[in-house]
Each structure stands twice: as structure tokens, then as C-alpha cells.
Chains A and B, each alone.
Chain A
Amino acid sequence: MAAAGSIRGQRGVTENVAFEIETRNLTKEFGHRQALRGVNLKLAAGEFVTIIGPNGAGKSTLLRCVAGLSKPSRGQVLLRGRPLDASGTDVRRRIGLVSHETLLYDDLTAVENLRFYGRMYDVERLDSRIDELLRRLGLLRRAHDPVRTYSRGMQQRLAIARALLHRPSVILMDEPYTGLDEQATEQLHRILRMMESGDQTLIMTTHNLNTVAQVGSRLAILVAGRLAYDAPKRPLSLEGLSTLYREVIGASS
């Protein structure tokens, strides 16, 4: 049965729809350590939530559970109301993941990497899709160079192309700014703003408040595996965001 709820969409209109992503009491334990403690998160289609929190708060674990890379110890992840673990392998076509690792093969060229993943996802008209993405992400000139010759920023843009290749409805980004210089960071900001205007649901984790200030429509703060704050993003200055973050962390500890 599809989970449905009364949510406030991006246009501020209350409507009854199935959530694109929902986590119910999501708990993940590694031995005696609890990385996630009963996280409940609901995202409508088209929402862009940025999740911040200190190191070890469980941000990456949350994304790994939503991506199906890690099995929850308790609780559930639902995609459009269907439990992820009972949806078979086809549900993975709806998810794209950008990690701080690129998930690419260094010895293959950009085109070969994208062609490999495209075939794995049965992408139609693959060559034109690869061409389109490489052009959008400014990599067309280096399309036939091995990935190991790319700068960190170029590799990250190619990783985004890989995640978008099969047109997923949900894009998960785990600290995508890791290791990027200022210019590459600005480029990634531009790409994310472009993605924000699309109809995809985005979850991005970061510990950089400057990034939070620039992208996303909703803000969540994860502290010690618990969702300590979750609200639509207010137009706050960097200082205001920093104050809010400190208050939430302080209240949670």
C-alpha cells in the first residue's frame, strides 16, 4: 500500500501524495554503536533537502541506507510508498548516488565509464545521452581521456554525470564538495542549482554551512544519529545559519 500524507509542496500548496522517499524509524547499528537512531524523514517529489551535522552524526549512513547499500538494523526506507528491501532490483533505477568517492574506473575514459554504467541501467539512446551530459557538465573536450588524468573537480563532475545518466527520480549526494577547489566548488554550486530547478528529489549531506546557504529548499540537522531539526530553509545569512546550527547541536547534546 502506498504511504500517503498531507505535505506542503514546493509551491506551498497542501496536497495528498505518496512521498518520494520516506524513512520510518530508521536505525542502523554497527556492533554496539548506533549510527542512526530512529530517523523519520519524509520527502515529496522535487524537494531538495540538505542534511548537515558534525562528523559521525550518521549522514553518510543515512544516505547509504536510502541508496540500498546498507541494510537498516530496524525501520524501513520507502520509495513512493514501497519498502526498498521488497522492491527488487528495478527500484535501483530510480536512485542516483554522488559520493565523495567517484565510483568510476580510472583506466577507462569518461565515455567508456558512462557507456558501462549506461548499459548496466539499460539507458535508451545511450550515446546521445552521454554526449548531452558531457556537454552540460563541460567535459566534452576530454571525453576520450582516461579518468585518471582528470583533476578532482572534473572527476566529480563526471561522477555527477554517472549519477544522472539513467534519469533517476532521486539523487543522493554524500559530501559532493569533498576535495574541490574554489573554482570547482562554484561550478558544482551552479550544477546543483540547475538540478534544483528540475523535478528530481535531492538529498545532500555536507558539513559546510556555506554550501547549505547556497542550495536546497529544506534543511535537516542530524546529531548523533537523530534528526534534531527538519524544516523548510529560511532565508538566513551564513551567521544566522551558524547560530541555528549551534543552537540545535547544543540542545541535542
Chain B
Amino acid sequence: MRAYLGKVAIILWKDVISEVRTREMLSSMLVFALLVTVIFSFAVEPGSVDMMDLAPGLLWVAFTFAGILGLNRSFALEKARNSLEGLMLTPLDRSGIYLAKMLGNFVFLSIVEAVVLPLFWVLSNLTLFPLAVVLIVPLGTVGFVAAGTLFAAMTVNTRAREVMLPILLLPVSVPVIVAAVKATGAVMAGESLAAAANWLQLLAACDVVFLVVSVLIFEYVIED
């Protein structure tokens, strides 16, 4: 198990180094998420009731579509020189390739979220920053990238992968996004975390199901 996780970390580190050199994935994700945040702050009057209703949904729209931009890039990197086959030739169970890619997508999307979240709060003139958001956002992100990484691997060889990925991924990730929006909305409204317990349980269940299913079927997705 240690050797397995060690190799997952080696792939993850390689992806981080590549991203640091090119900044292709992070820059496009950040620009998109920041653009949504800024446009939203101009479109809705800060501090209004509408703002409280719309904010959780818009926050997750920004995260979801920024995430899709990143997911599209994550396997495109391996496609360039067919290096996914290079990974498949190594003595690592193919689920390890999935885990490394999933963790990479989680790290990159989390960086975007860490930048966008405080800015969103300031621009939306939301006074209260409930710490519970820091728990809800990673929970939602795990479920989204768990399914997203699998679908990104599925669509990387299709001709219109940029279109195919959201078409396939969004319907599947609806439970994660809805639960994340509802839980975020509850804590934004000043309710306790216990009030959002049902949504958090749904989020956790989706995370586990998406992760386990993806790990189990990834091998069949990438093989001829």
C-alpha cells in the first residue's frame, strides 16, 4: 500500500511540476472563476435579499465551470504524446493513475476556490464568513472531481471533448452540486452546520460512491 501511494504521489508531483511550468490549467480556471465573481457583483445589488438567495448557487456555478476547464486539461496533458500509455505500462495498478489525476484536479480546483472564496465574500458584501464553508467546499469539490476525473478520461479521446465532458458530467454531478449549494446557503444564512446535516450527509455519500465506483471502473475506461 505504501508503494502504491508513493507512486500516486510521484504522478501527482509530476502534474504539479508541469502545471507550475505551463500554468495552463490554473490560469484559465482562475480567470473564469474571477470573471463570474466580478460580473455577479455588478449584476446584483450588494447586501440585498436577492444576493443571499443567489450567492450560493453562483459560487458553485463558478467552481463547477472552472473545474470543468481544469478537468478538460488534466488528461489532455497525457494525450499530447500518448503518455497515458506510458503510465499504463508502469507497474502501478491503473486505479493509481485515477487517484493521482483526481488528487491533482482536487488540488488545482482547491487553489482556485481558496482565491475566489474570500473575493466573492468581499465583492458580494456578505458580512458573515461562516467557517463551516471551509468544510462544505472541499466536500463538494471531492465529489465533483471524483466523477469529473473519470469522465475526463472517458472523453479525452473523443473529437469534441470540451463539449462532451460537461454534457456527461453535469447530470451525474447534480446531487453533489445541489447538496453543496443547499449546505452553503444554510450556513450563509447564519444557520448552524447541524441544520445542513442532511445535505452534508448526501455530499459525503456522493463522495464515497463516486470515488469507489471510479476507482473500480477506471481500468475499463482507459483500455481498448
Contacts and interface: CB of A to CB of B under 8 A. Distances in A.
Contacts, number: 78
A146 B3 CA distance: 28
Nearest to B18: A107
Interface string B81-93: 1110111111111
Contacts of B90: 92, 117, 120-121
Contacts of B77: 105
Contact of A105 (B81, B89, B93): B81
Interface string B10-21: 110010011001
Given A89-B93, A108-B14, A120-B90, A103 B82 contact: yes
B22 interface: yes
Nearest to B22: A107
Contacts of B85: 69, 97, 99, 101, 103
Given A64-B224, A107-B22, A108-B18, A101 B10 contact: no
Q: For chain B, what secondary structure do more than half of its interface residues adopt (helix, strand, loop), or is it mixed?
A: helix
A120 B81 contact: no
Looking at chain A, what size class is its interface with the partner chain?
Answer: 20 to 34
Interface string A92-128: 1101010101111111100010001101111000000
A95 B89 contact: yes
A104 B224 contact: no
B156 to A, nearest CB: 14
B223 interface: yes
A70 B18 contact: no
B81 A90 contact: no
Contacts of A121: 90-91
Contacts of B160: none
Interface string A69-93: 1110000000000000000011111
B83 A105 contact: yes
B89 A102 contact: no
Given A105-B83, A112-B17, A89 B10 contact: no
A1 B184 CA distance: 60
Nearest to B80: A106
Interface of A: 28, 30, 64, 67-71, 89-93, 95, 97, 99, 101-108, 112, 116-117, 119-122, 146, 162
Interface of B: 3, 7, 10-11, 14, 17-18, 21-22, 77, 80-83, 85-93, 223-224
The 3 A-B residue pairs with the shortest CB-CB distance, nearest first, are A103-B86, A101-B82, A70-B224
